[in-house]
Structure 1
């Protein structure tokens, strides 16, 4: 299995947690080849990653990405530009040519079970496989010119046919699309990936990239309130909540923030305690915000339409701020 992460020092702790979970829950896999594309990870953190790999008799390959000028022009490098996110578009250029399939993982992901089934997913004529993100609002889809019939997927986990990716020059095409929607896009490269690969994406069951805050959403909420047309069933969502294979701590209720009520916090703490990052303190100063955010999650269960209204308010606010900085 070929796995790739991209991170800077800010997310080093979480990458360490994810890396440990990957190795522990796939300890019987013969081959796990991990690439870490570093965009400013410190030597101490890199050493800790290597010690985690050594514990499981594995090795990791570090790829430094410092000069981005030949990939991204100054026109899109504004205050929101983050090479740690955009860098996933460069996997075709940065990974060795003998890698023809790779699983990209965000750093805020924890692996709870074997990912062999995920990695061996048959892509058929598709170039990537990903999990749908049903709470993405219609305005977001409209602004990035996404067809009504096309699903919007989360790019925090991408299974990539790297041969087809290279053959179709996907990195350059997605970067080009990103530039074309830069003044309308809130989610950067994720929006662009959806725009370019809308008809070349295989949909994965939600257990392979389960958002921890989706614990509070029902299948009917996704379909009736958010208007999502899903490839998976109500039973698939129940299975994902009960036994996620890949757990994604997306959203603001992060388990490493003191005061967080994240329902899957114990999984993150379990793996962190086993890593060389165990003594790194959790974030402070957000207890009140964590309480308010948790109340919003409770509201989601009771009256999901209110949750959607809240989301629409903040999305509209984000677009206003976005337009002001142009």
Structure 2
């Protein structure tokens, strides 16, 4: 079996609180410093919406700043524990695999989490950092996955039809890997961590990197969970798509490069939890690309905010002409 400990320099408890009357939910996230704030806001949303449970967050971090570590510490409350797992340079992913908007190894950290946590829990939930929890996360832990490696949620139909043909996977079974309910024992018994690292580093290019690899390895070994546990949303300027979210949604997942922490998208849902978080005084980034800034300028013009519109159109031109973005 793969020795995943070689990828971790240090395991450090940051917060250690629990209520002896509560059951414990183990939750894992993996990210670098660019996603530290979104991860923290995601965690805050879980904490606010999941009362009466101990929440143990396992954070697998890649070059996260001391400033952000201190802010994670401020998430402390009576039922929250946080353990940090410091990733080292032994964790290597073939750079040719990092395509599209996937630009760092952090997205593949989920490959090794179950091995490192199997001695702590039989059932683990993995969350991407671009999610917001809207109801109690305890609901997902109620699903029995004893006979499966993971509980998963199907991806969008267009993704299923496109990607399944590439890997000869049943289109209805292609899942989004942003939310995973993992049976850590079965994961380890079938050496998924080792197989995943071998597959992603074998020289082939996988369009969606870690997600494609997991779909290949876990085919016919997963239990499909309701869409409410990974409701995928693509937002545009003013994030009006949030108005169509179903009231039963538990986990909202902001897919695509249009992330809710960029100012141009004006996400009310993300803003609510951001303002409750230790990051509330941080300046949010404007946008991840120039076209979004242009669209924001157009939006402001339609709203009658002419001065702001002209200002942001100037910002767009600066990005476009000088920064080549």
- TM-score where L is the length of structure 2: 0.73
Q: d(CA) in 1 for partners of 2:118 and 2:160?
A: 37
Q: 2:273 — aligned with what?
A: 271
Q: 1:44 — aligned with what?
A: 67
- Counterparts in 2 of 1:123 and 1:19: CA distance versus 1, 3 Å: same
State which of 77, 80, 83 in structure 1 corresponds to 2:95.
77
Q: 2:45 — aligned with what?
A: 21
- Counterparts in 2 of 1:139 and 1:208: CA distance versus 1, 3 Å: closer
Is residue 2:312 matched to residue 1:289?
A: no
Stretches of structure 2 lacking an aligned partner (at least 5 in a row): 1-24, 237-242, 299-325
Q: d(CA) in 1 for partners of 2:212 and 2:95?
A: 16
Is residue 2:265 matched to residue 1:260?
A: yes
- TM-score where L is the length of structure 1: 0.73
| Local SS of the residue matching 1:177 | helix
Is residue 2:102 matched to residue 1:99?
A: no
Q: Is the 8 A contact 1:146 1:194 kept in 2?
A: no
The offset of 1:27, in angstroms, is 2.2
Q: Is the 8 A contact 1:63 1:94 kept in 2?
A: no
The alignment covers a number of residue pairs equal to 261
- Counterparts in 2 of 1:152 and 1:94: CA distance versus 1, 3 Å: same
Q: Is the 8 A contact 1:178 1:191 kept in 2?
A: no
Matches within 5 A, 1:216-227: none
The offset of 1:66, in angstroms, is 1.2
Q: 2:161 — aligned with what?
A: 138
| Local SS of the residue matching 2:29 | strand
Matches within 5 A, 1:1-326: 1-29=25-53, 31-52=54-75, 54-69=76-91, 72=92, 76-78=94-96, 80=98, 82-95=104-117, 97-134=119-156, 135-136=158-159, 138-143=161-166, 145-148=167-170, 151-180=173-202, 182-183=204-205, 185-213=206-234, 241-260=246-265, 265-284=267-286, 286=289, 288-289=291-292
Q: d(CA) in 2 for partners of 1:291 and 1:247?
A: 26
CA RMSD across the alignment: 2.6
The offset of 1:138, in angstroms, is 3.4
The offset of 1:109, in angstroms, is 0.8
The offset of 1:175, in angstroms, is 2.0
Q: d(CA) in 1 for partners of 2:186 and 2:118?
A: 15
Q: Is the 8 A contact 1:177 1:195 kept in 2?
A: no
Q: d(CA) in 1 for partners of 2:182 and 2:59?
A: 16
The offset of 1:51, in angstroms, is 1.1
Q: d(CA) in 1 for partners of 2:90 and 2:280?
A: 32
Stretches of structure 1 lacking an aligned partner (at least 5 in a row): 216-237, 296-326
Q: d(CA) in 2 for partners of 1:163 and 1:79?
A: 28
The offset of 1:32, in angstroms, is 1.5
